Structure 1
Amino acid sequence: MSSEEVIFVIIYFLFVFCLVAPTTEIISAGLTIQNMFAECLGSEQMDFIGYHMRRTTLTLIIHSFLPLGYFVFCIQMNYVPPLLYLFILDSFGKIWCLFSILCCLFSFICVLFALYWFNSNWNTHPISRRLGNLTVEGEGWRSVASSVNIEFRRFDKFTTGTHSRRLIVTDTWLIMTSTYTIQIARQADTHLAIVGSENHDMHYERSTGVQVLNIMVTSADHRVKPFKIRLIATEYNDLKDKLQSPILNLRNIVIQQSLSDQFVEAFKYEVNRNPRYRLPRNMEVENCIGCMQVISNVKLQKCCLDLPQGEEQDGQHGNNFSQQACQSCMCRPMWCLECMGKWFASRQDQNQPETWLSSKSPCPTCRSIFCMLDICLISD
């Protein structure tokens, strides 16, 4: 092969790679099948199952023409003999003749499958068959699709991953999308177990190293095949909060926490060392307004000592609130300890985590300035 042919092959295979596995930059530029054919595919938000049936079918058709496209471009660039000479059965013509026949046959078969699925009103599509395995007696796959579509439109679902390989967890369903299909299981029937982990020094979604967890999803329903999901360790707690059953860690794999999670653990330890706040008898405590899941259990009251003027936070490189004196907060208990820790971390300089514990924050309700010593747990 000449240098021009080598360059052409490299360019074409880069084009194929970007089309099959687009990078973050290509996705941001909108150069993906989903974006270029958005009008044909419809709305994923309104019709999740129908959207992915159309997406996987269109993706299969486009990808099936990639080998044939390579053959056509080779002819246009005069890297193979003209069409009239391809069928002269010498040693060179046999190879290109066989390649052209296989390319055409592969594309033709994929188009036939797409037409078969479309003409059957999607009843024979692989995704509809997977949904059919999740039906109860007297229901069809469309009832399952309707349930998935409704729950996907809710704002409280858990979603992570790239556009072509996403993990979606709703109240009832656990869904894993891929290039040519989707994996789906009912939450109540599934068992999740961590089977391994990988540490990467670089990751396309993070500027720092990450730990990736391999989690096997197994359903109690024998009709649903097990499948594996890959999850960044920093998103593990968010996934665990959305699941109905715990994730098994039989291999005792150490899961790396995010910087925010590590701070919350240290935050809880420090607050437990502070004085307790005795709740008045006539005061009722409601659920935390941050998570609405647990009872509020912390109260902000000034316990620290004021430093002489001019010495306040001398030499400390904290946030903008560190230069202000702590104030008395008159708010009644409305936050739990974990939500208060997350709020405290969000108000700090993200580039200086070593100063977080010694810094200050405004009250999330009245904006009174407080430090770590002013956070008190409510005594029983």
Structure 2
Amino acid sequence: MESPAVTFTLAYLVFAVCFVFPPDEVRSAGLTVQSLLAAWLGSEDAAFVQYHLRRSTGTLLAHSLLPLGYYLAVTSALAYYWSRKGWNNHPLARTLAVHALPQSGWRAVASSINMEFRRIDKFATGAPGARVIVTDTWVIKVTTYCLHVAQQQDIHLTVTDSRQHELTPDSNMPVQFLTIRVASINPYVKAFDIRLNSTEYGELREKLRAPISNAANVVIHQSLSDLFLETFTSLVEINQTYPVPSTQELEPCIGCMQTIANIKLIKNCQEPNEGECQQCYCRPMWCLTCMGKWFASRQDQQHPETWLSSQVPCPTCRAKFCILDVCIIR
């Protein structure tokens, strides 16, 4: 395909030069702007100025179309070449062919992808120009001009980057986007990157067979509650601490039973409005993570901007408290 492309490029270049600077042979053949637009230009003798107003305008437009004509001709020739032999020459067909078994071809791979894409349990996300699709067998990235395809059994996945955007049009909370590198052990399959919202990370992992390594040591926020829990923890850490008496023995958190209870609710704020915080007299029974999850679960999920300033009842005695009242045990 390279030799015909070079030949066409040289031929078109000669045509363009002859069209812009027409020799006598081209003029005699009538292949000039003046000849092609004669009906619109009118007579030079009848209206010299008006004739050249139209001639200069028509010439400018005709010459500006020469690059467009070249690209249209090249892409048309390329499209024709791709469609030959039942689309065997198309880059996508060649991409699929590297996944085909020895006794089959790219059409068998295409049939497998088509069948799995029709299933409702596939994972799909992303904008039209950067879609990510994961089926039982395939990981696919759809871009404007091409398709990246990898077989699940052959791939290694690595989180390589994380970008956090403070606001999105439909949310007042920051959103995290992850970049995951998809590398195949098949030497004929080029590695590619997929990008998705961290809230979709859990769903993606459920559909993948291979584990995802975290080379960048990214803290992945899989939900709005995860984002809030990180903020909740950082705010509690700057509150005053609670010195537990040496005679008091701390028990495991009754929420998770995995961690020793490490927080105590002490009324610290001076909220004057109705529904103010109340003193909690419960002994330490919760860990910071479980209390943060409890706090998030009691919020209005449609208005995350109110979470940090709200009050919730103690999970044990129902006394109202806010974030300022959560004290880490010292």
Question: Does the 8 Å CA contact 1:212/1:231 hold for their aligned counterparts?
Answer: yes
Question: Does the 8 Å CA contact 1:176/1:229 hold for their aligned counterparts?
Answer: yes
Distance 2:72 2:152 in 1: 37
Structure-2 residue corresponding to 1:166? 131
Give the deviation of 1:111 after TM superposition.
Answer: 1.8
Unpaired runs of 5+ residues, structure 2, are: 1-51, 233-252, 259-273, 277-292, 316-330
Q: How does 1:258-273 map to 2 (within 5 A)?
A: 258-261=223-226, 271-273=255-257
Structure-2 residue corresponding to 1:375? none
Structure-1 residue corresponding to 2:107? 142
Structure-2 residue corresponding to 1:127? 92
Q: How does 1:176-191 map to 2 (within 5 A)?
A: 176-191=141-156
Name which of 179, 184, 202 aligns with 1:237: 202
Q: How does 1:1-380 map to 2 (within 5 A)?
A: 84-85=55-56, 99-203=64-168, 206-261=171-226, 271-273=255-257, 315=275, 349-350=300-301, 351=303, 358=313
Matched residue of 1:139: which SS?
coil
Shift of the 120–204 alpha-carbon distance from structure 1 to 2, 3 Å rule, reads farther
Question: Does the 8 Å CA contact 1:348/1:359 hold for their aligned counterparts?
Answer: no
Q: Which amino acid aligns with 2:222?
A: Q
Q: Tell me the alpha carbon deviations over residues 217-259 of structure 1, each in whole angstroms, 9 at most, x when there is no partner.
A: 1000010001111111121121112111111112212222312
Shift of the 118–209 alpha-carbon distance from structure 1 to 2, 3 Å rule, reads same
Scaled by the length of structure 2, what TM-score is found? 0.53
Distance 1:182 1:205 in 2: 30
Distance 1:183 1:237 in 2: 22
Give the deviation of 1:124 after TM superposition.
Answer: 1.5
Scaled by the length of structure 1, what TM-score is found? 0.47
Q: Which amino acid aligns with 1:349?
A: D
Distance 2:66 2:125 in 1: 41
Question: Does the 8 Å CA contact 2:221/2:227 hold for their aligned counterparts?
Answer: no
Shift of the 108–357 alpha-carbon distance from structure 1 to 2, 3 Å rule, reads farther
Q: Which amino acid aligns with 1:272?
A: C
Shift of the 254–348 alpha-carbon distance from structure 1 to 2, 3 Å rule, reads closer
Give the number of the structure whose alpha-carbon radius of gyration is greater.
2
Shift of the 238–118 alpha-carbon distance from structure 1 to 2, 3 Å rule, reads same
Distance 1:187 1:86 in 2: 58
Shift of the 237–151 alpha-carbon distance from structure 1 to 2, 3 Å rule, reads same
Give the deviation of 1:170 after TM superposition.
Answer: 0.7
Give the deviation of 1:193 after TM superposition.
Answer: 0.7
Shift of the 99–202 alpha-carbon distance from structure 1 to 2, 3 Å rule, reads farther
Distance 1:86 1:260 in 2: 63
Shift of the 83–165 alpha-carbon distance from structure 1 to 2, 3 Å rule, reads farther
Q: Which amino acid aligns with 2:215?
A: L
Matched residue of 2:87: which SS?
coil
